[in-house]
Amino acid sequence: MVTTQDALARTVREHAGRLAAALVSLLGDFSAAEDLVQDAVEAALKHWPVEGVPERPDAWLFTVARRRGLDVLRREATYRAKLAQVQWPVPPEPDDRLRLLFTCCHPALSREAQVALTLRVVCGLTTAQIAAAFLVPEATVAQRITRAKRKIAEAGIPYRVPRDEELPARLNQVLTVVYLMFNEGYLSSSGGQAHRRDLVDDAEWLASLLAGLMPEEPEVAGLLALIRLHRARGAARFSPDGRLVLLKDQDRRLWDHEAIDAAIRLLTRTARRHHAPGPYQLQAAIAACHAEAPNWEETDWPQIVVLYDMLLALAPSAVTRLHRAIAVRHARGPEEAMAEVEKLGEALDRYALYHATRAELLRELGRTEEARAAGRRALELTGNPAQQALLEERLLS
């Protein structure tokens, strides 16, 4: 039975970001928009247990947020006029969230602040989820978001898609946000859900809008292909009882092979026009290696290692080095992979996949007790229920 709190949590997950984006687009005030949404959530916590969950919970939240806005801002004639015009659902305007995305990624803000603010306001992620994506404390993320809102207000940063000549200066940050949005939807870091289809849908939609805005930009095409290649495996990623199915165990007959072929064609056309692939193109190429393999045994692991080497040369990171080590495990054996993984302990100590990978390698090398300790550490660090179930199963084996 779905409880009132469950219904509210689901509504907030699915609509809070859109509610805030709709209010920001009209008020031009990030803090006020988020405060209005939070007030509406608090009102729902008070009224829904008594009155029942409304038929349209998203519309209920928006109505309350709008009413509170009128109350709080009644002395501000301009705001009042704007708020009075707002309706829910917001009339469809294809580039509305794209404008908000580029506003958050204004070059006057630091890169970290750009990404954190966009994930919070545009995507509706919680501070905890953003902190998990960056592997930094929640307080750090909260501070970045607060400073970014203040900077936008003080500098009078306009709410619009940049002119053509301004686009390159913001593209990397925009792509980073869409990529992180997709990652959080594809395998959620917290919130009691294994994945969030709404975030995945939004990420693909925004990537396709960017592709229409910048059709000759290879990294936009690379990110769109990457998202579509991963989405194509969606039907095989979870068992009927919600357990995570690892790539090697997935039923490849369930994959959307038409979508895979279309994404690979997009990637191939882009590679023909641009001979120096960027990070998103390389990640898409890695995903294509997996998608093209008829089975797990025929995966081209040596090619994947080469692609990771190219990726590290362009965008070095501890997480990418970890993924490369996983590929090395299958291409060259666990001993070499373990040597690489052990170098990453300090950088990735709070990253669940690091400890889960280390546990698997230790188990393969016969170091059972160390493997169990690493598995327990991985379990402590993940908030994803599907990952938790998998790790618990491994600990019992």
Per domain, the residue ranges of the chain are 1-93, 96-214, 219-297, 300-397
| Least reliable range by pLDDT among 14-23, 153-162, 209-218 | 14-23
Q: How confident is the model at residue 305 (pLDDT cuts 50, 70, 90)?
A: very high
pLDDT digits (tens, 9 = 90+) for 74-121: 655 555 566 566 565 655 454 566 777 888 888 888 888 888 888 788
**Predicted local distance difference test score (pLDDT) of residue 94:** 45
The partner residues of 244 in beta bridges, in order of sequence, read: 238
Give the orientation angle of helix 111-121 with respect to helix 96-104, to 10 degrees. Answer: 150
Give the global pTM: 0.77
- Measured CA to CA, the distance from residue 361 to residue 336 in angstroms comes to 10
**Predicted local distance difference test score (pLDDT) of residue 76:** 59
For the chain, what percent of residues have pLDDT higher than 90?
43
- Measured CA to CA, the distance from residue 346 to residue 360 in angstroms comes to 19
CATH code, 300-397: 1.25.40.10
Q: How far is CA 234 from CA 238, 239, 246, 382, in A?
A: 8, 11, 12, 21
Give the three-class secondary structure for 273. Answer: helix
pLDDT digits (tens, 9 = 90+) for 236-251: 999 888 889 999 999 9
Q: How far is CA 98 from CA 88, 159, 210, 212, in A?
A: 19, 10, 8, 12
The answer to whether 236 and 251 have CB atoms below 8 angstroms apart is: yes
pLDDT digits (tens, 9 = 90+) for 122-179: 777 788 878 877 778 999 999 999 999 888 888 888 777 788 788 888 888 889 889 9
